[in-house]
Structure 1
Amino acid sequence: MRWPAAFLLLRLAITCIILHGFDVSVSEFQPAVGCPESCFCSEMVNGGLVVSCSNMHLITVPRGFPNTTQHLYLDNNLLVTVPSDSFIGLTMLCGLDLSHNRLTHLEPGAFRGLADSLISLDLSSNQLETLDPEGLGDIRAHTNLSHNPWQCDCRLQLAMPQLLLDPSSLAEVVCNSSEPEELRAQGLPFILVATDVDFCGAYRKTTDVVMLITMFVWFTMVISYLVCYVKHNQEEASRHLEYLKSLPKIQGR
């Protein structure tokens, strides 16, 4: 059976399109020049790079990301911290995914240099208990902070006003525990609980008691010193007086 020429041409055109699309999809996942080891880089239409380091069992943040990186995926690894200046020089980075790691803290300056470019930061599903203003720095990105074991205490309450994050991000800080425990803030968003509860109240009371004790001890030491000083002077005066009384006898002899 003979196929019409038009049909054969149409079939050939469709086959070429499919093969061309396959070639493009394969080329997008080829490592770009300068791509860090254990990562895959693909170029975007605007010339920026998408760098994927997901599921690579990384225990440290890789170095040497291309300056044109716009989206960086470091999710599903074994990271426990983000060192200082980990992303320095990435002035085009607008999306950073650090979710599903084992992050317990962020070193001061961890996101230094990203304040002007970063739009989205994902820190969900880690082991963060508090927010460190020095670690987050001056970034204003929308940040996913969900699914972390947040400890709602005075330290977190003092840190909140110092953060420049998108305000909606802070709504995802849900208390896993509270200090003191009797506040019973577990399972509640911190920003709601903090409007009615002063987490630093107990701390201030403890500080006041310590200050009073310190002042009492200091006052007692001063009084003791003055008493000893006066007593010592009285003894010296008595000895001097006895010496003066003995002077005429010595002159007479």
Structure 2
Amino acid sequence: DSCVASPAPGSLKLSTVMACPTGCHCIQKSGMTVVQCMSRNLEKIPSDLPRDTVVLLLASNHITHVPNHAFRELHYLQEVDLSNNDIETVDVGAFQGVSDSLLVLDLSNNHIQSVPKEAFARLRAKISLSNNPWHCECTLQEVLRELRLDPETVNEVICHTAVQEEYAGKPVIQVLDSGINFCNFHHKTTDVAMFVTMFGWFTMVIAYVIYYVRHNQEDARRHLEYLKSLPSSSQINKDCDTISTPSP
């Protein structure tokens, strides 16, 4: 497939032919290049996207991963739809190069449990993260603090699991608005773990000292008993006198 771009006003060229990824359909719409790759059984994001792509539709495929620099060359990219895929991981630099241009990002209905807090750094886009099996903890809290979530789907960002089990099944924003701070809980958990570790080491040291003392006490007791079993100096002198005195 290929897409044919309409000539710019005043251009001497009648048309510009641009490459389109295999299995996708590229069209010009209102002066924008729209790349449609929906429901094409794609397992990864195409690497040969037209550089003037403005709208990229990748919904309903089998994409599992958004790699670093996936859209780096697409300087005009405004909208990316990755909904209804099998995405589990989003790399730290997945959206590097498009943070200034991207306006809409849809990652809803995937398998994302967590993302690096730097993955969406400096993105101004309206983002949909609904219907993913999110694990609610400190990193997710820090990620959401920096995002501009789609207000229509914000209540569909649910804690599938959480560091505090009672919040599983509840909307993340609702939990955070109630005053819960997962980062404080994380620190408390770390402090408890450190205390338990230190207590374990302290117990081992005490046990060793007790063992050492008891072992030395046993050695001392045996040594004392040995010394007691030896003849005394007075007995030795008496025996010597008996031997040295001549018989009458």
TM range (shorter): 0.5 to 0.7
Q: Distance in 2 between matches of 1:74 and 1:210?
A: 44
Instruction: Tell me the SS of whatever aligns to 1:77.
Output: coil
One-letter code aligned to 2:154:
A
Q: Match for 1:193 among 166, 171, 175?
A: 175
1:1-253 alignment runs, 5 A limit:
33-46=18-31, 48-161=32-145, 163=146, 165-168=147-150, 171-172=154-155, 173-181=157-165, 183-186=166-169, 188-195=170-177, 196-215=179-198
Q: Distance in 1 between matches of 2:92 and 2:186?
A: 25
Q: In the alignment, is the contact (CA less than 8 A) between 2:167 and 2:175 conserved in 1? A: no
Greater share of helix: 1
Q: CA RMSD in A?
A: 3.0
Q: Alpha-carbon deviations, 1:101-145, whole Å to 9, x = none?
A: 000110111111111111111111111122432222321100111
Q: In the alignment, is the contact (CA less than 8 A) between 2:117 and 2:142 conserved in 1? A: no
Decide whether aligned partners of structure 1 residues 128 and 54 sit closer, same or farther in structure 2, where only a CA change above 3 A counts: same
Displacement of 1:38: 1.4
Decide whether aligned partners of structure 1 residues 85 and 197 sit closer, same or farther in structure 2, where only a CA change above 3 A counts: same
After the TM superposition, which parts of structure 1 deviate over 6 Å for at least 4 consecutive aligned residues? 217-224
Q: Distance in 2 between matches of 1:67 and 1:209?
A: 52
Q: In the alignment, is the contact (CA less than 8 A) between 1:106 and 1:136 conserved in 2? A: no
Q: Distance in 2 between matches of 1:185 and 1:219?
A: 36
Q: Distance in 2 between matches of 1:168 and 1:98?
A: 15
With normalisation by structure 2, the TM-score equals 0.67
With normalisation by structure 1, the TM-score equals 0.66
Greater share of strand: 2
Q: Distance in 2 between matches of 1:122 and 1:97?
A: 5
Displacement of 1:184: 3.5
Q: Distance in 1 between matches of 2:103 and 2:185?
A: 37
Instruction: Tell me the SS of whatever aligns to 1:136.
Output: coil
Decide whether aligned partners of structure 1 residues 136 and 63 sit closer, same or farther in structure 2, where only a CA change above 3 A counts: same
Displacement of 1:203: 3.2
Q: Distance in 2 between matches of 1:216 and 1:179?
A: 24
Q: Alpha-carbon deviations, 1:153-192, whole Å to 9, x = none?
A: 333224333x3x21445824222232221x2341x32122
Task: Point out where structure 2 has 5 or more consecutive residues left out of the alignment.
Answer: 6-16, 213-248
Larger radius of gyration: 2
Displacement of 1:222: 9.9
